[in-house]
Amino acid sequence: MIWARAEGCRVTLADGRELLDLTGGFGVAALGHRNPRILEAWREQEVVHALGDLADAEVTVLLREALPRPAKLGVTGEDAVEIALRTALLATGRSGIVAFEGAYHGTGLLALAATGFERFREPFAAWLPGPVHRRPYGEDPGPLPEDAACVIVEPVQGRSGSRVPPDGFLEVLRRRCDEAGALLVVDSIYAGLGRVGEMWPGEEVADVLCVGKALGGGLPISAALFYRDGLEDVWQLGPEDVYTHTHVGNPLACAAARIVLEEVPKLLDRVRTVGERFEHAGWWGRGLLRARDGDWEDALACGVLVVPAGDGSLIQATPPLTITDAELEEAFEKLG
Ligand SMILES: Cc1ncc(COP(=O)(O)O)c(C=O)c1O
Residue spans per domain, the chain: 3-35+267-335, 43-263
Per-residue pLDDT tens over the stretch 13-30: 999 999 999 999 999 999
d(C-alpha 277, C-alpha 279), whole Å: 5
At 89, give phi and psi (nearest 5°). -60, -45
Over residues 214-227, the mean pLDDT reads 97
Ligand 1, closest atom to CA 159? 16
Q: Is the CB of 186 under 6 A from ligand 1?
A: no
Q: Is the CB of 100 under 6 A from ligand 1?
A: no
CA dihedral 193, 117, 21, 81 (to 10 degrees): 30
Per-residue pLDDT tens over the stretch 143-193: 999 999 999 999 999 999 999 999 999 999 999 999 999 999 999 999 999
- Which of 189, 209, 211 best tests ligand 1's pocket when mutated (most atoms within 8 Å of CB)? 189
- Check if 3-35+267-335 and 43-263 are the same fold: no
Per-residue pLDDT tens over the stretch 281-299: 999 999 999 999 999 999 9
Given a cut of 90, whether residue 51 has pLDDT beyond it is no
- Which of 213, 221, 289 best tests ligand 1's pocket when mutated (most atoms within 8 Å of CB)? 213
**Residue 242: its pLDDT value, please?**
94
Over residues 301-316, the mean pLDDT reads 94
Centroid of ligand 1 to alpha carbon of 72 (angstroms): 17
Q: Is the CB of 185 under 6 A from ligand 1?
A: no
pTM: 0.98
d(C-alpha 126, C-alpha 184), whole Å: 27
What SS3 class is residue 132? strand
Choose the CATH number for 3-35+267-335 among 3.90.1150.10, 3.20.20.70, 3.30.70.270, 3.40.50.300: 3.90.1150.10
DSSP E strand boundaries for the chain: 3-7, 10-13, 18-21, 71-74, 96-100, 132-135, 148-153, 183-187, 208-211, 222-226, 284-286, 289-293, 304-305, 307-309, 314-317
Tell me what the pLDDT averaged over the chain comes to. Answer: 97
Cβ pair 305, 23 in contact under 8 A: yes
**Residue 249: its pLDDT value, please?**
95
User: Which CATH class for the 43-263 domain?
Assistant: alpha beta
Q: Which residue's CA is the closest to the ligand 1 atom numbered 3?
A: 105
Q: Is the CB of 105 under 6 A from ligand 1?
A: yes
Per-residue pLDDT tens over the stretch 83-128: 999 999 999 999 999 999 999 999 999 999 999 999 999 999 999 9
Q: Please report which confidence band the pLDDT of residue 52 belongs to, taking 50, 70 and 90 as the band edges.
A: confident
Q: Is the CB of 78 under 6 A from ligand 1?
A: yes
Centroid of ligand 1 to alpha carbon of 211 (angstroms): 9
Given a cut of 90, whether residue 138 has pLDDT beyond it is yes
Per-residue pLDDT tens over the stretch 62-81: 999 999 999 999 999 999 99
Q: Is the CB of 216 under 6 A from ligand 1?
A: no
Q: Is the CB of 81 under 6 A from ligand 1?
A: yes
Question: Judging by DSSP bridges, how do beta strands 3-7 and 10-13 pair with one another?
Answer: antiparallel
Q: Is the CB of 82 under 6 A from ligand 1?
A: no
